[in-house]
Amino acid sequence: MGKIIAITNQKGGVGKTTTSVNLAASLAAANRRVLLVDLDPQGNAAMGCGIDKQEVKYSSYDLLMEEVPASETVIKLPEIGFSVIPGNSDLTAAEVELMHADHKERRLADALIPIKADYDFILIDCPPSLNMLTLNAMVAANSLLIPMQCEYYALEGLSALMSTLKNIQDSVNPELHLEGILRTMYDDRNRLTKDVSEQLIRYFGDKVFRTCIPRNIRLAESPSHGLPVLSYDKSSRGSVAYIALAGEMIRKEKKSSK
């Protein structure tokens, strides 16, 4: 059964989409069956995989509205090794349209049930807010992966996210757990980065991934080519880091299933 991981942080620009696309590619390179669900109205994950978000027949909006079965919304991308359910600006309407709907926070969870067994990993790229879309992701997910930049205000944002996690565990999704915290755009020459990183490890221990994602220009360039960095520049530091992250996750998974 596929493990569903929501890639989330209410702060924008921390590397959620970059992590979604490149972790998906790296897990696929390790022969895992991967689906990436783009739940951000900006549709950056879809674009980063070479999909024209305005031209798609269906998007994740249709999943939330129960209009189309999930299998019909999936776009297979053999060139990059995984499948995508795209997101686009239609999603902005979802929040309003779901306001008075039944089971509004369970729409995504229910929609993914029929296709869950077709994948080893389903990654959900969340929007930069704690709205109804993110809530749907957190209800559908088994775990949360939180990318963060080691900056001064990052820890504060993280504590808000941890209390959201607790609320969801206490109400709609008791099984939800923290997959891990990922340090992104990491620069170990920077004193503040190091301090925040140490604090992070003090609080969260082995919930902080050992792999850090460095700041790497190839990671920033590859979306404009519609490719994960692995297909764009395989030997870049960005590629190597996301492959290491996939390896770390797979090893953890094997350990916990023993």
Residues that bind ligand ADP in the complex, under the rule CB under 6 A: 12-18, 44, 128, 184-185, 213, 215-216, 219-220
User: Which of Mg ion, ligand ADP, none does residue 77 bind (CB under 5 to 8 Å by kind)?
Assistant: none
User: Which of Mg ion, ligand ADP, none does residue 50 bind (CB under 5 to 8 Å by kind)?
Assistant: none
What is the closest distance, in whole angstroms, from the C-beta atom of residue 168 to Mg ion in the complex? 21
Rg (CA), the chain: 17
What is the closest distance, in whole angstroms, from the C-beta atom of residue 219 to ligand ADP in the complex? 4
Question: Residue 140 is encoded by which pair of tokens?
Answer: 């559908």
User: Which of Mg ion, ligand ADP, none does residue 219 bind (CB under 5 to 8 Å by kind)?
Assistant: ligand ADP
What is the closest distance, in whole angstroms, from the C-beta atom of residue 217 to ligand ADP in the complex? 6
CB atoms near residue 255 (< 10 Å):
8
User: Which of ligand ADP, Mg ion, none does residue 150 bind (CB under 5 to 8 Å by kind)?
Assistant: none
Which strands make up the sheet holding 121-125, listed edge to edge?
75-77, 82-85, 34-38, 121-125, 3-7, 143-149, 177-186, 208-214
CA 40/CA 89 separation, integer angstroms: 8
CA 18/CA 8 separation, integer angstroms: 12
Return the axis-axis angle of helices 132-140 and 91-98, rounded to nearest 10°. 90
Question: Residue 35 is encoded by which pair of tokens?
Answer: 């689906």
For Mg ion, the closer CB: 73 or 184 = 184
What is the closest distance, in whole angstroms, from the C-beta atom of residue 15 to ligand ADP in the complex? 4
For Mg ion, the closer CB: 41 or 180 = 41
Question: Residue 182 is encoded by which pair of tokens?
Answer: 């990922």
User: Which of ligand ADP, Mg ion, none does residue 216 bind (CB under 5 to 8 Å by kind)?
Assistant: ligand ADP
Question: Residue 130 is encoded by which pair of tokens?
Answer: 């704690």
Question: Residue 212 is encoded by which pair of tokens?
Answer: 């850090």
Give the x/- contact pattern for Mg ion in 15-44, rule: CB under 5 A: -xx--------------------------x
Phi, psi for 36 (deg, rounded to 5): -110, 120
For ligand ADP, the closer CB: 119 or 232 = 232
User: Which of Mg ion, ligand ADP, none does residue 213 bind (CB under 5 to 8 Å by kind)?
Assistant: ligand ADP
- Chain residues binding Mg ion by CB under 5 A are 16-17, 44
